Amino acid sequence: MLYLIIFVSLFLRLINLNQSLWLDEAINLNNVRALGFGDLVLKYSLSDFHPPLYHVILKANTLLIGSSELAARLPSVILGVLSVYITYLIGKKLYDKKTALIGAVLLATAPLHIYYSQEARMYMLAAFWATLSVYFFISLVKKESLSNWLGFIASTILMLYSDYLVYLLLPTYIIYLILFRKNVKRSTIIGFIPSFILIFLALIPWLLIFPKQLHVGLTVASASPAWANVVGFSDLKNLGLSLVKFTVGRISHDNNLIYAITFLPIGIFVLFLFAISIFRMSKYRSYLQFWFFTPLLLGFFISFFIPVFVYFRFIFILPAFYLIWASAINSVNIKKISNTLLLLALFINLISTSIYFINSKFHREDWKEATKFVHQMSNDKTIVLFEQEGSMAPFDYYNSGKVESAGAIKGFSANQMDVKENIPIVTKNVDKIFLFQYLSGITDPQGILFQEISNEGFKNISTKNFNGVGFIYEFIR
């Protein structure tokens, strides 16, 4: 059964793996191809606002197997499948084999976990190391051994070099050890002190760089409040939406009322499972609640000061989410009811995952087709303009220098005078323009660039819409 679950996990994560790269993936990949290991760590990571481990791994992966969409996403696929296996081990250690298998199959089919197992970003890397760190933490609390101590220290260090939100896992360890100190061996609690010191010492090289990175991130957030709203802000609606996304993945509906009504019975089902899981809690199993709730609530609070609260940054708590489901399902002694609960849980996962696979609306930004359209309609006097300072990374990735491109805005937002001065310069000797609307709601909400292109004598002759990319306006003079 475990082998079958692992196979299904891998199979689901390979479907649609070659969909177009979206903005952040392309930024990662372009920089990885252009920079050496040193510059990736010391320069690029500052602007990406993430620790450097994923960039180093992606660079090595690119050198080994190339930089196609499939190649770039393969590490995340593998890490996602391994996370399913580690979740099984945690479930087996806390409960029993049946509960562990249920938890593993739920995570294997989880729509949000599948989505981010297919993304060339660091979230699945962080989730894998976090899950492994939790496994060794639980192992140590139950029984000390040198291998468990070494595994905990190594996996936690690698976790902390993968992403920042996983740092919120550390308080879960400390709070648990304080609250359950009477149930944990004194030597184990004492052993965590030098372990955390070693982990901190291993982080010092990056902590010396972190202040510069934080300064860059806060500067961007203060210069563009609209961008801060995109990267993550705290309100109750956003917190509630996170719980919805954990359950049904990235699928949504344009009508919020229909979306809410559709999710309501699913939400009741999830709350029912969480309530039932309480009956199987113990001094060890209660850690799952700490693992799930503590990072989420701390991240929500922190985002009042630093905008980081977005549901996909909390992929690392999904194993706890589904192990809580599994414990509830397997706590019902009546087999028919238990099987019904499991089937309902799998139904939610598989329907949500199928909608993601089938409906391209929920796929990543379709820069591949957008760039292909530009290539088909361009001539030797064409330029592609973007609503930012430079060209867009995904367009550069697929364009490969075939059509000239440029940014038409200085700074984080369009200024009438700057755009008016810049347009005649970038459109000199040009008779066709493709203007990408992408991010215009943040950088140019008033449509200044469109207006100035028209004032320069260009006429908008067609408009095409591409999934996630938005409108592309074709102008001729």
Residues in the chain: 477
Beta strands across the sheet bearing 404-407: 404-407, 382-386, 432-436, 470-476, 459-466
pLDDT at 417: 85
Angle between helices 69-94 and 318-329 in degrees, nearest 10: 40
Q: Which amino acid is located at 313 in the chain?
A: R
The CATH classification number of 367-476 equals 3.40.190
Please name the residue that has the structure tokens 């609307």: 437
Residues of the chain with pLDDT under 70: 217-234
The candidate with the shortest Cα–Cα distance to 14, out of 98, 81, 112, is 81
Bridge-based pairing of strands 470-476 and 459-466 is antiparallel
CA atoms of 6 and 241, how far apart (whole Å)? 29
**Which of 246, 286, 284 is CA-nearest to residue 267?**
246
Q: How many whole angstroms separate alpha carbon 449 and alpha carbon 385?
A: 9
100: its two tokens: 């562990």
The pLDDT value recorded for residue 408 is 87
Q: Where in the chain is the domain with CATH 3.40.190?
A: 367-476
Q: Tell me how far apart the terminal alpha carbons of the chain are, to the nearest angstrom.
A: 65
Confidence (pTM):
0.93
> According to the model, what pLDDT value does residue 225 have?
57
